[in-house]
C-alpha cells in the first residue's frame, strides 16, 4: 500500500471536484477529501447516490459539499460550459479534479466487440474526461496549487487480452495525463498524474471478476493515502507520473 499519512487539515479551503462520486472509490475519495477540509463537488449520474454521500459528509461535520447530477455519457458540449460557469459563480476557482468515473463495457475478444460498445466506453472514459478537463482548466489555473488526478489501470499500462475498449481507454487516459502534464509544466500551478487503484472491493471489480472473493481485496478507504498525497500540497512539483495505490 502507498505509504503516506496526511495531516488533518491537508485540504483546508480547497475546492475539489470528484467524478463518479456516488459510490465505490469516488465516494470514498469525496468523503476522505471532505474529512481533510475540502469543499467537495460530487459529480455523478445517480442523484440518490450523490445525496447519500452528501448526507454522510454533512453528518460528519465536514465542509458542506455540493451535489452535481451530470451524465457523462449523454452530456453535450454546452452542458460542460454551463457546469464550468456554475462552478466559477459558486466557488470562484477549482483546486482539484479527480477523474474517477468510468465504465468497463463487455470483456470480450476484439473480434467480438461491437463498434457501438467500443465507442460507448471510449466516450465515457476518454471523450467526457477530455471535455471536463479542457472546460475546467481555466478554473484550475485560478488556483495557487491545483491537482488533476486521472484514474488508470494496469491494463492501461500493458495491454491484456479481452480488456478491449476498457484497456484502450486507460491507455488513452495515461496519454491525456502525460499531454496535460507536459503542457502545464512550468507555465501553470497545475500538476497532472495518474493512479492505478489496483484490485479494490468495488462493484466494478466484482463485475470484472465475478468469481473472485471480494474480501481478499482492500476497501476503497484503504487505498486513499495516494489520493490524498496527490491532491494535497505535499505533491507540489510531482507532475506526469503514474502511481499505484497498492
Q: Which domains does the chain have, with CATH numbers?
A: 15-244 (3.40.50.720)
Residue among 33, 54, 80, 166 flagged as catalytic: 166
What does the alpha-carbon distance between residue 88 and residue 136 come to, in Å, rounded to a whole number? 9
Q: How far is CA 121 from CA 31, 77, 172, 210, in A?
A: 27, 18, 12, 20
Nearest Cα residue to 118 out of 157, 167, 185: 167
Q: What is the pTM of this model?
A: 0.96
- Tens digits of pLDDT across the chain (246 residues): 899 999 999 999 999 999 999 999 999 999 999 999 999 999 999 999 999 999 999 999 999 999 999 999 999 999 999 999 999 999 999 999 999 999 999 999 999 999 999 999 999 999 999 999 999 999 999 999 999 999 999 999 999 999 999 999 999 999 999 999 999 999 999 999 999 998 788 887 777 778 888 788 888 899 999 999 999 999 999 999 999 999
The residue ranges of DSSP E strands in the chain, in sequence order, are 15-19, 39-44, 66-69, 96-99, 146-151, 190-196, 242-244
Q: 3-state DSSP call for residue 151?
A: strand
Assess whether 54 carries a catalytic annotation: no
Nearest Cα residue to 198 out of 147, 241, 156, 235: 156
Nearest Cα residue to 139 out of 179, 186, 195, 80: 80
Task: Give residue 208's pLDDT.
Answer: 74
Task: Give residue 8's pLDDT.
Answer: 95
Bridge partners, residue 243, by sequence: 195
Task: Give residue 207's pLDDT.
Answer: 78
Amino acid at each position: 500500500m502507498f505509504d503516506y499519512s496526511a495531516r488533518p487539515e491537508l485540504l483546508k479551503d480547497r475546492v475539489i471536484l470528484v467524478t463518479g462520486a456516488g459510490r465505490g472509490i469516488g465516494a470514498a475519495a469525496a468523503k476522505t477529501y471532505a474529512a481533510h477540509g475540502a469543499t467537495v463537488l460530487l459529480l455523478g449520474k445517480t442523484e440518490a447516490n450523490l445525496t447519500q454521500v452528501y448526507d454522510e459528509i454533512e453528518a460528519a461535520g465536514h465542509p458542506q459539499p455540493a451535489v452535481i447530477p451530470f451524465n457523462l455519457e449523454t452530456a453535450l458540449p454546452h452542458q460542460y460550459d454551463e457546469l464550468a460557469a456554475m462552478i466559477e459563480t459558486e466557488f470562484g476557482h477549482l483546486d482539484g479534479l479527480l477523474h474517477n468515473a468510468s465504465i468497463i463495457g463487455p470483456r470480450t475478444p476484439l473480434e467480438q466487440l461491437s463498434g457501438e460498445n467500443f465507442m460507448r466506453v471510449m466516450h465515457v472514459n476518454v471523450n467526457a474526461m477530455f471535455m471536463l478537463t479542457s472546460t475546467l482548466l481555466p478554473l484550475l489555473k485560478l488556483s495557487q496549487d491545483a491537482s488533476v488526478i486521472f484514474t488508470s489501470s494496469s491494463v492501461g499500462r500493458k495491454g491484456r487480452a479481452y480488456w478491449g475498449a476498457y484497456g484502450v481507454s486507460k491507455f488513452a487516459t495515461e496519454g491525456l495525463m502525460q499531454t496535460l502534464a507536459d503542457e502545464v509544466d512550468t507555465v501553470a500551478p497545475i500538476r497532472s498524474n495518474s493512479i492505478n487503484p489496483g484490485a479494490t472491493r468495488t462493484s466494478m471489480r466484482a463485475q470484472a471478476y465475478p468469481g473472485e472473493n471480494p474480501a481478499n481485496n482492500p476497501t476503497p478507504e484503504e487505498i486513499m493515502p495516494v489520493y490524498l498525497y496527490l491532491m494535497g500540497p505535499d505533491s507540489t512539483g510531482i507532475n506526469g507520473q503514474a502511481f499505484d495505490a497498492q
